[in-house]
With several copies, the nearest count.
Chain A
Amino acid sequence: QMVLIRRFEEKAGEAYSLGKIGGFCHLYIGQEAVAVGSLAALRADDYITCSYREHGHALARGISARGVMAELFGKAPGCSGGKGGSMHLFDASLGFLGGHGIVGGHIPLTTGMAFAAKYRNTDQVGVCYFGEAAVNNGAFHEALNMAALWKLPAIYICENNRYGMGTALERASAIYDISERACSYDMANEVVDGQDVLVMHAAMERAVERARRDKHPTLLEVRTYRFMGHSMSDPIHGHYRTREEVEDQRKRDPIAVWSQRLIEDGLMDQAAAKALDKEVMEEVDDAYKFADEAPDPEPGELYTDVYASTRQPAAGEAGAS
């Protein structure tokens, strides 16, 4: 899966430069182990929300490469019908409830989903992925306070990749260890190495158990790194970080860490690794071809899904006039 995400994102970057993908496009390269390791600990009926950097989570949760790539292309078979886009991937059948574009905005949504699980007395869990820059936002503070106060089955995963766009963590937050913010809510917390998929997975399983069984929320601070620019329009290392730093971080490439271990443990050999990579490349190429050839949404789609009833309010026609 990590390899799939890596290759997928590389392909998406390629498609973006070819103008086949537009808008903002935030790649997940470098952080793959976080989504893969954590989502593997969830159940099919759990709820997930993400920020706009969610291609990896969508794939790891099981949305097809075709469905995600087609959405990036804005095509009708995309997982959001081509109307959502890169930042707004959805698949309700998988409990994958969006890509959201407002930093911090989806954190209270997850608190609400966890509330619903408690309300209905199911043992579902609500999981929210966001970046380290979001923890300074009021939405984070309000949402975590309620989750802890009401003992909700929620897991807040802060993917600390050191930067919010061009702003280093320490230039935006008064404290360096984000996990300590949990003390304001008397919430369970852990600092996790996000470059090691197994470590990530183990930490997530502990958090899921706390949520599912004890109805106790957790804040996970996951230390990871963004190998690419913030979005396609941002250079890999702008004014805000050095090439050396990026090179240095690349040494802990989550995929290398993982395959190395498998090889050491004799669970995989170079050949198998190659085969896997080939297989993945084929899946990604297929997704690309599918997306490229897929149809655009019907023009009429412009006016659907604004309301449950397809009917538009009167002002709508004025707008179209």
Chain B
Amino acid sequence: MAVVTYRDALNQALREEMHRDADVFLMGEEVGVYQGAYKVSRGLLDEFGPMRVVDTPITELGFAGVGVGAAMVGLRPVIEFMTWNFALLAIDQLVNSAAKMRYMSNGQVGVPAVFRGPGGAALQLGAQHSQAFESWYAHIPGLKVVMPATPADAKGLLKSAIRDDDPVVFIEGEMLYNLKGEVPDGEHVVPLGKADVKRPGRDVTIVCHSKTVSVALKAAEQLAGEEIDAEVLDLRTIRPLDDAAVLQSVSRTHRCVVAEEGWPFAGVGAQVVDTIQREAFDELDAPIIRVTGADVPMPYNKHLEKAAKVDPARVIAAVHSVLYRD
């Protein structure tokens, strides 16, 4: 097991898959000469050349469509959005082209493409650059949505996403790129659609994904000090959601908190709550509490920004309330 950063884990996945399959190529803004806006693609241009590592103009709608078109005829594009905020310009191609092609064509034409890049907030990037859209993409039948929280998952899930025959929305975390963690050597693939217990526990289930996983783990540590044993369940894939894993955990703990970085209204957590109360109504000893980003555009000021984000304190408060400890 080597310790690598989330960034390098993604870089390994790209390199390995491009070696494995000549149909895999990377396209996006600054992925080549600039080595990637966040250096995820460092070294790939030199290694694979400009036909397989393609710098594009700032035309998200256009190059997303190019990726879909190339995938329609059998290539396996990995389309990088510098951030998912900019992908709003391309969303018509993801929703109206990528997600529907297989269905409209009665299975004749699939779109084996991966759309990836960092989502959510970083530090003081302001309202237009600090948004989490996973619940949007997960709303769309035809798309899959993957959000790794650790270097090992980042590598293993990206490899699966590239090999998947359906369009995959792969949302990374800008704040996670420098996160270090152990990654199994050699071929390491993590299946899509499987949640992962990042910390087992008996008293309460904290459902989370992406950046909120480390927040939940921090909260769980502190809670352990209060004799509260929290289970941290990392969804990893948002669509298809691993309902079984969620229900299984909650039917053991009977209490649940759902944390996510995004806005509350119709977020991923709302779907998790719906599923739990529908399928495990009698298992619940308390209402499920969600912890989400504040329901406002992200402010620039660092204190306001901090207050808008999910932190261990708010997760702990939610756990206390589902345990009626407050």
Contact = CB atoms under 8 A, between A and B. Distances in A.
Nearest to A84: B104
Among B108, B263, B289, max chain A CB count under 10 A is at B108
B299 A146 contact: no
Among A49, A84, A134, A304, max chain B CB count under 10 A is at A84
A320 interface: yes
Given A102-B128, A164-B58, A320-B295, A116 B107 contact: no
Given A98-B104, A313-B240, A318-B290, A112 B66 contact: yes
Interface stretch (B10-18, B72-80, B219-227): B72-80
B66 A111 contact: yes
Nearest to A112: B69
A49 B72 CA distance: 11
B141 interface: yes
Nearest to B98: A109
A178 to B, nearest CB: 12
Contact of B302 (A22, A24, A238, A312): A22
Interface in B98-120: 101-110
Contacts of A270: none
A319 B295 contact: yes
Interface string B283-321: 000000111111111011111100110000010001000
Contacts of B51: 118-119
Nearest to B290: A318
Interface string A44-84: 00010100000000000000000000000011000011111
Interface string A166-192: 110001110000000000000000000
Interface in B238-267: 239-241, 243, 263-265
A302 B307 contact: yes
A109 B239 contact: no
Contacts of B127: 83-84, 88
B126 A23 contact: yes
Contact of B318 (A105, A171, A321): A321
A82 B305 CA distance: 11
Interface residues of B, number: 91
A242 interface: no
Contacts, number: 308
Contacts of B110: 308
B30 interface: yes
B306 to A, nearest CB: 10
A127 B181 CA distance: 47
B62 interface: yes
A136 B275 contact: no
Nearest to B166: A307
B93 interface: yes
A90 interface: yes
Interface residues of A, number: 83
A171 B301 CA distance: 36
Given A23-B124, A97-B72, A315-B264, A84 B106 contact: yes
A235 B55 CA distance: 19
B65 A109 contact: yes
A231 B52 CA distance: 27
A115 interface: yes
A266 interface: no
Interface of B: 25, 29-30, 33-35, 37, 51-52, 55-59, 61-75, 77, 85-86, 89, 92-93, 96-97, 101-110, 123-129, 141-142, 144, 164-166, 193, 239-241, 243, 263-265, 271, 274-275, 278, 289-297, 299-304, 307-308, 314, 318
Given A90-B105, A112-B71, 20 more contacts: A23-B300, A49-B69, A75-B301, A83-B103, A97-B72, A97-B73, A110-B69, A112-B67, A115-B66, A138-B89, A139-B89, A142-B59, A164-B58, A166-B34, A172-B56, A299-B304, A307-B166, A312-B240, A319-B263, A321-B314
19 contacts: A22-B123, A84-B300, A87-B128, A98-B101, A110-B69, A112-B72, A115-B70, A138-B89, A166-B33, A167-B30, A167-B57, A173-B57, A240-B33, A296-B303, A305-B105, A316-B264, A318-B264, A321-B290, A321-B318
